[in-house]
Amino acid sequence: MDQKVNLEEKFSLLDKPYSPAIVGYVNDYKLQIVKVEGEFVWHKHDETDDFFLVIRGHPERRFRNSTVFLHSRTRG
């Protein structure tokens, strides 16, 4: 990936929650963004890993045996 990506601009193009969009690639990995809202059904991806970068808000991720609270750097 040789170009910078303006995440604020890319998020503004998403018109509804849970409609991911690819914003770039790093090696063989897709970089996707998604807006989330409300409950999110637990699931897994056997062929990939997930990375959460919180831009706004403070979601929690519930796993089988624990809950992780995520925060944006600005805590907005």
Q: How confident is the model over 61-71, as a mean pLDDT?
A: 84
State the pTM of this model.
0.69
**pLDDT for residue 1 is more than 70:** no
Q: Are 62 and 41 in contact (CB under 8 A)?
A: no
Please, which contacts does 31-40 make with residues 24 or more away whose CB atoms are closer than 8 Å? 31/1, 31/5, 33/7, 35/11
20-46 pLDDT, tens digit each: 999 998 888 889 999 988 877 777 788
Place of tokens 């193009």: 13
Position 76 scores a pLDDT of 47
